[in-house]
Amino acid sequence: MLINSLSFLAFFAIVVVVYFAPALRSKPAWQNLWLLLVSYVFYGLADWRMVPLLLGATVVFYALGVGVKQMMNGERWKAASRLTTLAAALGVALLLVFKYLNFFGESFAALLQGVGLSCSWTTLHILVPVGVSFFTFKLISYVVEIHRERIEPTHDFVQFATYIAFFPTIMSGPIDRPGKFLPQLMRSHTFEEPLALDGCRQVLWGIFTKMCIADNLALLTSSAWVMPTDFPASRLLVAALLFPLQMYADFAGYSDMAIGVAKVLGFRVERNFNHPYLARNVAEYWRRWHMSLTSWITDYVFMPLNIAMRDRGRIGTIIAVMINLIVIGLWHGANWTYALFGLYHGLLFIPLVFSGSFGRNRKLKPAAHGLPKGSDFLKMLGTYCLVAIGLLIFQAPSLSHFWAYVRALFRPSLLSIPSLGLPWFTYVGLLLLIACEWLCRDREHPLQFVHGPAASSRVVRWGIYYILILCIFFFQGQSQQFIYFQF
Amino acid sequence: MNEEILNALTEIFRDIFDNEDLVATPELCADDVEEWDSLSHIQLVVAIEKYWHIKFTAREIMKWQNVGEMVQGIANKIE
């Protein structure tokens, strides 16, 4: 059931009506039980065969959390550390078995064959559980946070299971942290009109970017990969340069929908994007892109590594950054393209570490004319191009496809004027998206009106909503699955 | 003793974050200082360890939520 479908709308309407029904409203335990039930129904509709896995993993990690705390209470610190390590290893094993087993088996067999040894790997037919990369990270962080004494384990299993399976975010995130999310499950939720309305606006914006921008752009970018040499090189170049915007409209669109749906239920979940293409270098880009994943990996991979190598100075930082980004790349799936994607970004960090511009950047300030300063604009443009090259590696089905695409780019037809075949509205949508990125850079989403005519006039606000709804009806592209559903 | 540690930390913070107005208080945390990110945090730890000739474990460092907890961690080591 896609989050932008009519069936989801009907499902969600039932969820909301029951969730805020007077019988449940003042009882958080009942509200959580209802949320848990509908979350499992939602997950089961995606793939019912994986429900036992989700439930089993939830039970095991719940018990591990309680166990770690008991050992810490008994001052058995080493045993608590060992149990936390076991929890992390179990989480990684879950990912390895379901996402990477075939990849490592095939790669190992190819390696042995490469050195003349006879070896064959029978590809196992392993079903990849939907959302496994997302809920596994939640499971791991729960136990690690208990061990770091940042949270207390919950003794309410329903509460914990609801945190793991929360339906708006289980498929593609954002990856919520237990410290922020679990306390929200400890209190009852009444319908908060301002938050719910903000959530509805965010859902509307998410649907618009996904259906009117990302789905239309997919026509151009996906066709280019089938047989790159069938297209003029200039068209391939434009497709490569537009893919970052398609990916953003798709994934940030999904995140907006998930965050908006959670807001209607009274929950605040992690923000996932902070206008990534306003970044002035690659380090800033990673602080603005898929923030719930990058902050997770920073906390649990980069920081421990960097702490362990802190006496090695910049070299230690570079090694930690490299490992961090390769892990981010491989998190997306079992393919050498993802490893190369991570390595490529890691290499882009090296000059930043040496120049000292790796850390936080100064706040963006516009020039007198209201647009970005010239130097900032050039840095944004350069960062965008570097990201586009990275995403070319990322979206390639294999390394050989990537090289074929790159070779196809360098042909005389690079200088021709490409025919893109995109619906005219796609360009309007893109311009609107780019303008909103800059003008609404201090807001979570563009439909949070804080000043101007839309903030003061209900007519203007509703006019904007109706225009967006009409655009969704008349200018939506051919329905495409969310890019991040595959992860 | 905590006062002495805070005074020394103020000097270290000013040096690492290149901000002469910064004052280390027990409530101060990373969200309050624009330049305080994961990288500068490590630089801070290295500077603290050098200043007091102490060594923290990864778990101790990851546990700190604010300067107050950092001060307590230093005090425990130098006592």
Q: Assess B30–A contact: CB distance below 8 Å, yes or no.
A: no
> Rounded mean pLDDT of A22-47?
93
Report CA A216 to chain centroid distance, whole Å: 21
Q: Residue B65 carries which side chain, given as an amino acid letter?
A: Q
pLDDT of residue A125: 64
Run of H or E including B6? helix B2-17
Rounded CA-CA distance B79/B75 in Å is 6
Tens digit of pLDDT for each residue in A146-162? 999 989 999 999 999 99
> Rounded mean pLDDT of A102-115?
73
Mean pLDDT check: name the lowest of A101-105, A262-266, A317-321, A412-416: A101-105
Q: Assess B46–A contact: CB distance below 8 Å, yes or no.
A: yes
Select from A137, A286, A330 the least CA-distant residue to B39.
A286
Q: Assess A148–B contact: CB distance below 8 Å, yes or no.
A: yes
> Rounded mean pLDDT of A330-346?
93
Largest CA distance in chain B: 32
Q: From the CB of residue A73, how many other CB atoms can be counted at a distance below 10 Å? A: 9
A122 CB-near residues (< 8 Å, 6+ apart): none
Contact A81 B59 (CB under 8 A): yes
Contact B63 A359 (CB under 8 A): no
A24 CB-near residues (< 8 Å, 6+ apart): A18, A30, A31, A34
**3-state SS class at A372:** strand
Q: What is the sign, positive or negative, of the torsion defined by CA atoms of B57, B58, B61, B62?
A: negative
> Rounded mean pLDDT of A160-165?
98
Q: What is the sign, positive or negative, of the torsion defined by CA atoms of A430, A432, A433, A434?
A: positive
Chain A residues in contact with B59 (beta carbon < 8 A) = 81, 147-148
CA B4 to chain A, closest CA, distance in angstroms equals: 25
Cβ pairs bridging A and B (under 8 Å): 43
SS3 content of chain A, % helix, strand, coil (to 5): 75, 0, 25
- Assigned token pair, A146: 């208990």
pLDDT of residue A487: 65
CB B9 within 8 A of CB B49: no
Contact B62 A304 (CB under 8 A): yes
Terminal CA-CA length for chain A: 17
Contact A148 B63 (CB under 8 A): yes
Residue A359 is nearest to which of B39, B45, B63, comparing CB atoms? B39
Residue B42 is nearest to which of A149, A307, A362, comparing CB atoms? A307
Q: Is A102 a residue whose pLDDT tops 80?
A: no
Q: Tell the burial category of A371 from Cβ atoms under 10 Å away from its Cβ (0-12, 13-18, 19+).
A: exposed
pLDDT of residue B17: 83
Rounded CA-CA distance A176/A163 in Å is 8
Contact A310 B35 (CB under 8 A): no
Helices A178-185 and A132-147 pack at an angle, to 10 degrees, of 90
pLDDT of residue A47: 86
User: Mutation test of the interface with chain A: which of B62, B69, B70, choosing the one with the most A Cβ atoms within 10 A?
Assistant: B62
Q: From the CB of residue A167, how many other CB atoms can be counted at a distance below 10 Å? A: 26
- Cα→Cα distances A44→A98, A99, A130, A397, A480, Å: 18, 19, 10, 29, 21
Q: Which residues of chain B have pLDDT under 70?
A: none
> Rounded mean pLDDT of A98-121?
72
Contact A307 B45 (CB under 8 A): yes
Report CA A148 to chain centroid distance, whole Å: 25
CB B10 within 8 A of CB B22: yes
User: Mutation test of the interface with chain A: which of B16, B34, B42, B57, choosing the one with the most A Cβ atoms within 10 A?
Assistant: B42
Contact A317 B61 (CB under 8 A): no
Q: Is A122 a residue whose pLDDT tops 70?
A: no
CB A90 within 8 A of CB A75: no
Confidence of residue A118 (pLDDT cuts 50, 70, 90): low
Rounded CA-CA distance A142/A164 in Å is 10
Tens digit of pLDDT for each residue in A457-466? 999 999 999 9
The secondary structure of residue A19, as a DSSP letter, is H
Confidence of residue A452 (pLDDT cuts 50, 70, 90): confident
A346 CB-near residues (< 8 Å, 6+ apart): A321, A322, A324, A325, A326
Chain A residues in contact with B65 (beta carbon < 8 A) = 150
- Please state, for a pLDDT cut of 70, what percent of chain A lies above it: 97
pLDDT of residue A453: 86
Cis ω before A174 (30° cut-off from 0): yes
CA B62 to chain A, closest CA, distance in angstroms equals: 7
Rounded CA-CA distance A398/B51 in Å is 51
Contact B62 A307 (CB under 8 A): yes
Question: Which residue matches tokens 């995130």?
Answer: A173
Q: Assess B31–A contact: CB distance below 8 Å, yes or no.
A: no
Q: Assess B65–A contact: CB distance below 8 Å, yes or no.
A: yes
Q: Assess B35–A contact: CB distance below 8 Å, yes or no.
A: yes
Q: Is A437 a residue whose pLDDT tops 80?
A: yes
Contact A311 B37 (CB under 8 A): no
Q: Is A356 a residue whose pLDDT tops 80?
A: no
Confidence of residue A360 (pLDDT cuts 50, 70, 90): low
Confidence of residue A448 (pLDDT cuts 50, 70, 90): very high
Nearest residue in chain B measured CA to CA from A150: B63
CB A121 within 8 A of CB A105: yes
Report CA A404 to chain centroid distance, whole Å: 28
A232 CB-near residues (< 8 Å, 6+ apart): A411, A413, A414, A416, A418
pLDDT of residue B12: 93
Terminal CA-CA length for chain B: 9
- Give the CB-side neighbour count of residue A91, counting CA atoms within 13 A: 24
Report CA A431 to chain centroid distance, whole Å: 23
Chain A residues in contact with B40 (beta carbon < 8 A) = 359-360
Residue B46 is nearest to which of A304, A310, A359, comparing CB atoms? A310
Report CA A95 to chain centroid distance, whole Å: 17
Tens digit of pLDDT for each residue in A176-190? 999 999 999 999 999
Q: Is A120 a residue whose pLDDT tops 70?
A: no
Domain extents for chain B? 2-78
Q: What is the pTM of this model?
A: 0.89
Residue count of chain A, please give it.
Answer: 487
- Assigned token pair, B63: 């546990």
CA B32 to chain A, closest CA, distance in angstroms equals: 13
Q: From the CB of residue B78, how many other CB atoms can be counted at a distance below 10 Å? A: 11
pLDDT of residue A129: 81
CA A125 to chain B, closest CA, distance in angstroms equals: 40
Q: Assess A303–B contact: CB distance below 8 Å, yes or no.
A: yes
CA B30 to chain A, closest CA, distance in angstroms equals: 12
Q: Assess A155–B contact: CB distance below 8 Å, yes or no.
A: no
Q: Assess B61–A contact: CB distance below 8 Å, yes or no.
A: yes
Tens digit of pLDDT for each residue in A133-149? 999 999 999 999 999 99
Helices A77-95 and A51-73 pack at an angle, to 10 degrees, of 170
- What is the pLDDT of chain A when averaged over all its residues? 91
Confidence of residue A363 (pLDDT cuts 50, 70, 90): confident
pLDDT of residue A121: 60
Partnered with residue A372 across adjacent β-strands are A366
pLDDT of residue A123: 60
CATH class of B2-78: mainly alpha
Q: Assess A277–B contact: CB distance below 8 Å, yes or no.
A: no
ipTM above 0.90, yes or no: no
Confidence of residue A224 (pLDDT cuts 50, 70, 90): confident
pLDDT of residue A420: 84
Q: From the CB of residue A108, how many other CB atoms can be counted at a distance below 10 Å? A: 12
Rounded CA-CA distance A362/A456 in Å is 31
- Assigned token pair, A151: 């949270």
